[in-house]
Amino acid sequence: MALSVAQLYEVMTQLPDPVFILNEDGYYVEYIGGVEQRSYQDGNPLIGKRLLDILPIDKAQWVLEQVARSFATGEVQVVEYDLSPNEVEGINADAGPQGMQRFEGKIAPLPSLYEGKRAVAWMTRNITRQHELQQRLKRLGETDQLTGLYNRHFFFEHYHHKLQGEGRTGLIMLDIDHFKQINDRFGHQTGDRVLCSFSECVAAQLRAEDMFVRSGGEEFLILLPQIDEQILLKVAERIRAAVAAMAPDPAPITVSLGTTLVRPGEAVSAVLARADEWLYQAKRSGRNRVAHDSDP
């Protein structure tokens, strides 16, 4: 048995997720569904209003671009975007979810004209919880759980991005001297505290754009974009001195460092191998020192 037009409309108005009908000029023609009040504010007050009048200009322009792309391709466009109810003029922002929300939108061009204008159906779904879970899982996969630093996986994922731009990039490989003795004498819990204190000390010597990662055990890597050889050596020496001046419980520690500049077009494996060679040169020379590749 076929549903009547009234019954079809009744079904549409009870959809948990909302559907906006937007015309090519950026006006809200209709709002359907969206009855899940825990996920959405009521969008009915937007009917008849223009995107540019109710959204921040950058977001309104972005929506119009997606609508135009849907018309140009004739295909459904799938997008994700962030929007806070406080950014939308004309709705009751106090009802429904609060704070920045994450949405998935599906934009389908409609075959009919609406008062002579082309239009799309913009179906939206609140995916904030799923997105936050994905971000937490991503952070877990990229972060060392003890120190809070990024891990080796993150280093390789973002290495080439850090090389972009003008200027040279430096690499420092660090290893805490005689760390095994701390674990053996005082236990692994004490060793963990020392690792955390060390990480905080080194991070305090770095810029926001530097990438500091725990590559494993007591070994660490620092990638420093936009740096020359002289500054690289100064940073490495500053780190060495800061660590030597620490007073962690139960005993002082020192660190050995191998430094090098990344050569143009060089594979990451070659850079790491060279930094590792100079790190061990620092250790063979007595530890608590910086050894540098002076011919990059």
What is the set of domains in the chain, with CATH numbers?
A: 5-135 (3.30.450.20), 143-292 (3.30.70.270)
Q: At what angle do helices 268-284 and 152-163 cross, to 10 degrees?
A: 110
pLDDT recorded at residue 295? 64
**Helix ranges restricted to H, 37-151:** 51-54, 57-73, 128-142
For residue 211, which amino acid is it? Answer: M
pLDDT recorded at residue 163? 86
Distance, CA of 74 to CA of 65 (rounded, Å): 14
Q: Identify the active-site residue in 87, 104, 142, 218.
A: 218
Note if 218 is an active site residue: yes
pLDDT recorded at residue 271? 95
Q: Which two tokens stand for residue 36?
A: 């899940």
Distance, CA of 16 to CA of 32 (rounded, Å): 10
Threshold 0.75, pTM exceeds? no
pLDDT in tens, 146-191: 999 999 999 998 898 888 776 799 999 999 999 999 988 999 899 9
pLDDT recorded at residue 152? 92
Distance, CA of 218 to CA of 179 (rounded, Å): 7
Distance, CA of 199 to CA of 72 (rounded, Å): 52
In the numeric block, the tokens 């030597």 are attached to 244
* Positions in the chain whose pLDDT score sits under 50: none
Angle ∠(128,134,138) on CA atoms, nearest 5: 145
pLDDT recorded at residue 136? 77
pLDDT recorded at residue 296? 52
